[in-house]
Amino acid sequence: MQYNDFAFIYDNLMDNVDYDKWVEYIEKIIKKEDVQVKNILELACGTGNLTIPFAKKNYDILGIDISEEMLSVAREKCIDKGIEVVFLNQDMTELDFEIYNLDCVLCACDGFNYILENEDIQSIFDNVYGLLKQKGVFIFDISSYNKLSNILGNNTFGENREDITYIWENYFDDESDMVEMNLAFFTRNGEYYQKFEETHYQRAYKNHEIIKMLKKSGFEYINVYKDFTFSEADEETERVFFVCKK
Task: Assign residue 193 the CATH number of its domain.
Answer: 2.20.25.110
Residues 39 and 61 sit within 8 Å (Cβ to Cβ): yes
Domain containing residue 106: 5-143+206-245
Q: Specify whether 33 is located in the same domain as 90.
A: yes
Q: Specify whether 176 is located in the same domain as 111.
A: no
Q: Specify whether 185 is located in the same domain as 85.
A: no
Residue 2 has a pLDDT of 58
Residues 137 and 31 sit within 8 Å (Cβ to Cβ): no
For 75-121, how does the pLDDT look when each residue is reduced to its tens digit (9 = 90+)? Answer: 999 999 999 999 999 999 998 887 889 999 999 999 999 999 999 99
Inform me whether the pLDDT recorded for 19 exceeds 70: yes
Q: Specify whether 34 is located in the same domain as 109.
A: yes
Q: Specify whether 196 is located in the same domain as 210.
A: no
Last residue of a domain, one of 202, 222, 237: 202
Q: Specify whether 136 is located in the same domain as 151.
A: no
Q: Specify whether 86 is located in the same domain as 138.
A: yes
Residue 86 phi/psi, 5-degree rounding, is -90, 125
What ranges make up the beta strands (E) of the chain? 39-43, 60-65, 86-89, 102-107, 132-143, 156-160, 164-173, 178-189, 192-203, 221-226, 239-245
Strand order from edge to edge, sheet including 221-226: 86-89, 60-65, 39-43, 102-107, 132-143, 239-245, 221-226
Q: Specify whether 58 is located in the same domain as 155.
A: no
4 pLDDT band (50/70/90 cuts)? low
Average the pLDDT over 26-47 and give the result. 96
Inform me whether the pLDDT recorded for 1 exceeds 60: no
Give the global pTM: 0.93
The answer for residues whose C-beta is within 8 angstroms of residue 110's C-beta and 6 or more apart is 141, 142, 143, 202
Average the pLDDT over 134-143 and give the result. 97
Residues 47 and 74 sit within 8 Å (Cβ to Cβ): yes
Indicate the number of domains in the chain: 2
